[in-house]
Structure 1
C-alpha cells in the first residue's frame, strides 16, 4: 500500500483513504491491483526474460485493458530494475532529475518498490509517493516529478503509454525543489 511524505511539512499519510484522497486532490490517479494474481515464482524476481515479462502482461491483462480504455493508453510494457541492471547508477541519476512529459507517466508496481517525487498543486510543494506491489499511479501530463528506487533497489513495473515518444523526459528547473 502506498504511503506519502509531504516534503515541506514532513507529514506522512499512511492509510489507504488518506493516500487516495490526497492524490485525488492533486489530480494523480491511484489504484491498487491484486498482487495475489502474480505467480509466486515471479513475485520477487527482478531479472526477467521476455517470456516472463509477457506472462506478467497476460496476468494483468484485464486491469491493463481497463486502465487503457479509461485513459487512452495504447501500448504497455514491463520494466525491471535491480542491482543486476547494467549501468543502474547512471540510469538512476538520469531518473532523479525533475522533469515533465507530454503525456501521463503511468506505473503499476508488480514487485519491489519505487518512489515518485511529484510537485503538488499550489501551496503543497513536493511530495513523495512510496509505492509497493499492487500500487498503480499516473502522474498527469506536464506535472514536474521524478522516479527513483527505494532502499531495496528493486522494482518490476508495467508502464502504459499513449505514444512512447510522449514519454520523453523534458528537464524542469524548479527553485522550489530541494532533493
Structure 2
C-alpha cells in the first residue's frame, strides 16, 4: 500500500523522507481529492498485465514511455535527477509506474503544501494535468 505524508521544510538531502514531526499522514482519499490516483500492480508482467490494460482503456491512455533511472542506463544522469526534482507541471495527465526500485513523488496540495508519496516496485500513480510535482530517488541510491 502506498504511503504519503506532508513534508517538512528542511533543506537536507532530497532523498530523505522529510516527514513532519509529529507526522501528518495523507490518505488515498486525500490524494484522490487532488486528482492523484494509485494502483498496486504486478511489475513483473507489465507488458501483458490485464489490470494495466483495463486501466489504460478506462483512462484512455494510449502511450507508454519507459525510463530507467540508473547511472549506467540514463544519459546525463546527474542532470536528469536535478531536472526531475525541479517543481513543474504538465498540460496532460502524468502516469508513473515503478517497474523496479523506489523513490518519491512530491505533489502540491490546494494550500501549496508539499505531500511526499513513497513509491516502489509495482506502484502506479496518475497525476492530473496542472498539478505541481517533482520526483527524486530515495536513500537506497548511494550517490546522486
The equivalent of 2:4 in structure 1 is 4
Q: Which structure shows the higher helix fraction?
A: 1
1:1-179 to 2 correspondence within 5 Å? 1-7=1-7, 10=20, 11-13=23-25, 19-35=27-43, 38=44, 57-60=46-49, 62-84=50-72, 85-121=74-110, 123=111, 125-153=113-141
Q: Provide structure 2 residue ranges, at least 5 long, that are not aligned to the other structure.
A: 9-18
1:152, distance to aligned residue in structure 2 (A) = 2.1
Count of equivalent residues = 129
Q: Tell me how far apart the structure 2 counterparts of residues 110 and 127 of structure 1 sit (CA, whole Å).
A: 22
Q: Identify if the C-alpha distance between structure 1 residues 59 and 152 changes in structure 2 by more than 3 Å, giving closer, same or farther.
A: farther
Cα distance in 2 for residues equivalent to 1:153 and 1:86: 17
Structure 1 residue aligned with 2:15: none
RMSD: 2.2
